[in-house]
Structure 1
Amino acid sequence: MAVPFLLASQSPARLATLRSAGVEPRVEVSGVDEDAILAAARASASAAGAVLPLRDQPYLLARAKADDVVARHDPDAIVLGCDSMLEFDGDILGKPHSPGVARERWRAMRGQTGILHSGHALIDNRRDRRGPTGAATIAGDTSSTVVHFADLSDAEIDAYVATGEPLKVAGAFTVDGLGGPYVTAIEGDYHGVVGVSLPLLRVLLRTLGVDFHELRG
């Protein structure tokens, strides 16, 4: 019998990636306010005289999503929260949401490179694995991959934005969908760019005493 596994994400790409690896997770979508979480974390870092590292920000959201699902549903399962952001020109970029923002980002990104960070947070909430205090075990890290973008024309950018896809994804692009022709190369983990790094997930599972194949039915 497979180890019970829950994905705290509504991303079709993450679900498809896990399914392609033989894993069929239960899905529960979190209800966290991502902007509020990041704003609070940045304010806390600033009050301490520090700056919140760009690479840490998607992990904070991944952890918040996993925590939210555990708090609301208390699943007897291992819970995976994920979040992706693109580091570009010193900024961290999530979903653009509007055509104007997506178009502006692509005009800046074309012919350039960025780093796609995907935060992963695992919470082992299985009842028979909790410690003496009843606390769940947590493991997490961030997958980072360099992405090279094609030098798109304005017409190509307008056509891609018109599909609606870049509005709904981190960094305004996909590598596994309509945006595939516009990514010329990557340096790192392909699956991490899609949204869930299978190699990193394997490593994190091992820290919980679980082998990846144990997730398969």
Structure 2
Amino acid sequence: MTTLLLASASPARLATLRSAGVRPDVRVSDVDEPAVLTAAVLGAGGTMPAAEQVLVLARAKAEDVAAHAPSADVVLGCDSMLELDDGSGPDVLGKPADAADAVARWRRMRGRSGVLHTGHWLVRPGGGEAGGTSSTVVHFADLADDEIEAYVATGEPLVVAGAFTVDGLGGAFVTAIEGDYHGVVGVSLPLVRVLLAELGLAWTDLWAPR
């Protein structure tokens, strides 16, 4: 069996992998994400598409953890952001800064659609790297102010990219998605399978014995 080391503290990513038969170990990276992203954007001339931003951060996390775990079979890093255009131009949103920020975001998001980008980067120590981004259109319900305030009061929107979940309390506020459901949760299983194959590994080899 090939073992997977998940470079993420996300409970949703861990639960998704476990439900798919994978039992990863977890090690959170020490990457300074704002610094890494700022340097990457400046290096790209001051602008970078959201789909590339999440890939930069996913790579940084995976490479950081792999450097401290050279015996790991394969390391997976992920990062997610919501790209929202409310008519004033596209905006790329990670986790909200606080409750007030989450409320303000939901007032922009309600009744609209955004694209949830999740970057994935795999490192096989001594055996190469591969990465890709899963991008899924998410349609949000037209929430009333009291629904927004009640949702933010639960604390859930404060700890997730885009200030929503599709697999938790926020599921009732997502009317439809166009793309990979698991990518919205935080880890695209089909994409991970493809990336593993690029490194000469099989998805089925990650399945834990039953």
Please, which runs of 5 or more residues in structure 2 have no aligned partner? none
1:187 aligns with 2:186: no
Q: Percent identity?
A: 64
TM (norm. structure 1) is 0.92
Show the counterpart of 2:103: 103
| 1:77 has 2:73 as partner | yes
Shift of 1:212: 0.8
* Residues 5-57 of structure 1, C-alpha deviations (whole Å, 9 max, x = no match): 110000000000000000000100111111111111111112xxx62122100
Deviating above 2 A after TM superposition, structure 1's stretches of 4 or more consecutive aligned residues are 72-76
How many residue pairs match? The answer is 204
Q: Quick one: distance in 1 between partners of 2:192 and 2:66? A: 19
Report SS of the residue matched to 1:92.
Answer: strand
- Give the superposed CA RMSD: 1.0
The one-letter code matched in structure 1 to 2:13 is R
In the alignment, residue 60 of structure 1 is paired with which amino acid?
A: V
Q: Is the 8 A contact 1:97 1:168 kept in 2?
A: no
CA distance in structure 2 between the aligned counterparts of 1:85 and 1:155, rounded to whole angstroms: 25
5 Å matches for 1:40-189? 40-46=39-45, 51-89=47-85, 90-125=90-125, 130=126, 136-189=127-180
Shift of 1:98: 0.3
Return the TM-score normalized by structure 2. Answer: 0.95
Specify the code of the residue in structure 1 equivalent to 2:111.
G
Structure 1: which 5+ runs fail to align? 131-135
Give the conservation status (yes or no) of the 8 Å contact 1:8–1:65.
Answer: yes
One-letter code aligned to 2:107: R
Aligned partner of 2:207 in structure 1 is 216
